[in-house]
Structure 1
Amino acid sequence: MAFSADELRVLRRALATALNPAPLQDEDVQDCLRLAEAVDDAVREAGRLRAFLLADLARYREALPGTLPGYLELLQDALAAGYDPAADDLAALRALRANPRAAALLERCQVLAERSVRARLVRATRATRAVAPAPRTRLLALPGGRSAADEPKPATPKPPVPSKPPAPKPSEVFPPRRRPVPPPPPEERVAG
């Protein structure tokens, strides 16, 4: 982003005012607002240009290998603009590595993709640490609790109840099975 001489003058005055707060004249306030609006417009335009470039890059990637020179040039422009190569870009470059320009660009993209992954991992680790709960503090007894007079009197102990042996008998766990009664012989059956 480049500033004109007038915009630099306004920016310099705004920075001086931020460092040494003082009342501003209405003209200075209007100049700062116009500069802020111009910067916002430039940022929006850069976003639109980036979206167009990435859409164009995707179209060229879909039409490979016939669009190899155009794709390589667009990818270099996108990388220069801060684009992190996607998995599709790496796969396309791997398929085209017979071309020396594509092979060199593949090496560059692999380095950039690795940096991008590492940066995301660092951010994720930091976010996880920020979300992790703080260790619990120990509870301390405060004065003014129950006194000895408030304590309940201990009950008289009851005599111990004899306990059962710890292991149950097999007959308690598995009751005996009743044997089925055999059917009566055929001659004793009554015809009905």
Structure 2
Amino acid sequence: MAFSADELRVLRRALALALHPAPLPADEVRECLQLAGSVDEAIREAGRLRAFLLADLARYRTALPGSATGYLELLQDALAAGYRPQPDDLASLRSLRHLPLAAALLARCQGIAERSVRARLARSTAGPSGAAVPAAPAPRTRLTALPGGRADIKPARPAVPGKPAPADDPAKDRPVPTPAEAFPPRKRPVPPGERREAS
């Protein structure tokens, strides 16, 4: 899209106004509206030309192989306008790959198709906010000590080989249970004959 010198002046003024809002005279407002209308019309015209180009491309593709020259030229124009090749285009180019231009266009279209597939896959794995969803579970959050908690912890003493690791300080305040407390003796069952004698 090309702008004339007057249109560029109006566009520059509109951009400056967007950065630093200020009241405009009526004639400048009218010029901005006219420029906006011209841009809208150019966009609509570009859409119409694109539709005609794609319709011609489909007609030439249907008439292959007799229309190979016209089809390849139209495909070049369509790609320059941002057209993404369809599976029918790739199949048609494969059938024409004996032509140097068709072989070059096939390589170009395959590259465009691969990038398009990758972009679709990236969008499909994106979350609602647009951030990519991790394929594996996220690592667990690192635990941090509460404020003041780490200051009270004394450094651990290194373990001596062959000796058990020293117990923590809180364990020293606890009484160590005796074996009888830890493993109370079980009462032996009395045989039935002895029960009768005792009674």
Q: Distance in 1 between matches of 2:6 and 2:130?
A: 46
1:7 Cα offset (Å): 0.4
Report the AA paired with residue 121 of structure 1. Answer: L
Unaligned runs of 5+ in 1: 133-192
- 1:92: which partner in 2? 92
| Superposition TM-score, scaled by structure 1 size | 0.65
Report the Cα distance in structure 2 between the residues aligned to 1:122 and 1:26, rounded to whole angstroms.
48
* Paired position in structure 2 for 1:163: none
Q: Distance in 1 between matches of 2:12 and 2:112?
A: 36
* SS of residue paired to 1:111: helix
> 1:67 offset after TM fit, Å?
0.3
Instruction: Quote the residue 1:112 is aligned against.
Output: 112
Cα 1:75–1:130, aligned 2, differ >3 Å: closer, same or farther? same
> Cα offset for 1:121?
2.1
* Cα RMSD after superposing both structures: 1.5
Identity %: 73
For residue 120 of structure 1, report the CA deviation from its aligned partner. Answer: 2.0
- State the match for 1:25 in structure 2: 25
1:27 and 1:131 map into 2 onto residues whose CA distance is: 43
Alpha-carbon shift at residue 131 of structure 1 (Å): 8.7
Say if 2:47 is the partner of 1:9: no
Tell me, what secondary structure is at the counterpart of 2:92? Answer: helix
In structure 2, do the counterparts of structure 1 residues 108 and 131 end up closer, same or farther at CA, with 3 Å as the change threshold?
closer
- Write the letter of the residue equivalent to 2:35: L
> What SS does the corresponding residue of 1:69 show, helix, strand or coil?
helix
Q: Give the Cα–Cα distance (whole angstroms) in 2 for the partners of residues 124 and 14 of structure 1.
A: 38
Give the alignment's TM-score, normalised by structure 2: 0.63
Q: What runs of 5+ residues in structure 2 fail to find an aligned partner?
A: 132-199
Figure out how many residues of one structure are paired with residues of the other and give that number. Answer: 131
**Amino acid in the other structure paired with 1:4:** S
Hey, what's the Cα distance between the residues in 1 that align with 2:120 and 2:25?
45
Check if 1:66 corresponds to 2:66. yes
2:49 maps to what in 1?
Answer: 49
Shift of 1:130: 3.3
Following the alignment from structure 2 to structure 1, what is the Cα–Cα distance between the partners of residues 23 and 78? Answer: 44
Partner of 2:162: none
**Helix, strand or coil: the match of 1:85?**
coil
What letter matches 2:129 in structure 1? A
Q: What's the secondary structure of 1:130's corresponding residue?
A: coil
